[in-house]
Amino acid sequence: MIIQVKNLTVPIRLGIYPEEQLSCQDVKLDLEATVSDAYKAGQSDDIDLTVNYASIVECVDEAVKEQSIGLVETVVERTGQAILKAFPMISKIEVVVTKSVFHNEVMRDAVVSVKKGFRREG
């Protein structure tokens, strides 16, 4: 079963330029988690047999919210690793992070997006 969390907005001090580190900017994350045996939750209507998407959001917040991070790639890595560590039922997680581009001291409408999939080893 797949659980998707889309357009999750997280405030992060994100960027390599000093101006980008002055305050948090809203960064969008899209997550797609493959959950093992989640069909049992659907059959029994028991949240304890699946991964609560609200818990995924809390995990992302703990991993990156309001932190000072230089690279979008670092947000992707921290998010993917934190989710796999926190949720043994998740066998695979895909993380897409999108942020606005800061250029010449002005935010631009262009975006930088990094996508990476993570798989549980073993």
Q: In this structure, are strands 25-35 and 90-103 parallel, antiparallel, or unpaired? A: antiparallel
Distance CA 95, CA 79 (A): 7
Composition of the chain by helix, strand, coil, percent to 5: 35, 45, 25
6 is catalytic: no
User: Quick one: how many helices (H) and strands (E) in the chain?
Assistant: 3, 5
Element (H, E) at 63: helix 53-64
| Marked catalytic residue, from 65, 99, 115, 116 | 99
Active site amino acids: 99
